Amino acid sequence: MLTLDVEYDCDFDLFGIVSSSREHTLAWTLNTALRLRLVKQQDLIYDLLSRGRLVISNYLHATETLSLRLLRNRSVDPSALKKPFLAPDIKEYDYLLQVSNGTGSLAGDELLARLTELPAVQYACQFDPNSLKFKENLLF
């Protein structure tokens, strides 16, 4: 039996956010503080065959050069999965912020500093997405 082993390279910055805020409130807070226009998109649905499915809430801000996504880390629908998370290896984080081509105040340490200053954010951390076991869940 042959198996296809594919290795993905994630070329975006990834931030984990701990926040007790509802997703629309956090999106509004990020829009105001970072001068974004995060807009609610259709939920992402991952059908995991016989194990169940994940329904992930998804907000997007996109320009010609920048793409920024706010993703809820936990499935919004009840799930039969033991770990109903988009990124189970960092399940302590309520939300994930994925930034492609971020520059200046929307990149790396500067963005992390701005996130941690927000009252709606209890804690934030930057991750190397390539180090995550379930990184393919973050590719759209």
The rounded mean pLDDT for the chain is: 86
- What confidence score (pLDDT) does residue 84 get? 83
Beta bridge partners of 14: 98, 127
- pLDDT over 70 for what percent of the chain? 86
- What confidence score (pLDDT) does residue 8 get? 58
**pLDDT tens digit string along 61-71?**
999 999 999 99
For the chain, how big is the Rg over CA atoms in Å? 15
* Confidence check: pLDDT of 7 > 60: no
Global model pTM greater than 0.85 = yes
**pLDDT tens digit string along 106-116?**
888 899 999 99
**Residue among 128, 131, 129, 125 at smallest CA distance from 140:** 129
Residue 83: band (very low, low, confident or very high) from pLDDT cuts 50, 70, 90? confident
Alpha carbons within 13 A on the beta-carbon side of 37: 3
**Residue among 94, 80, 87, 65 at smallest CA distance from 139:** 87
Distance CA 92, CA 36 (A): 25
CA 26 to chain centre: 13
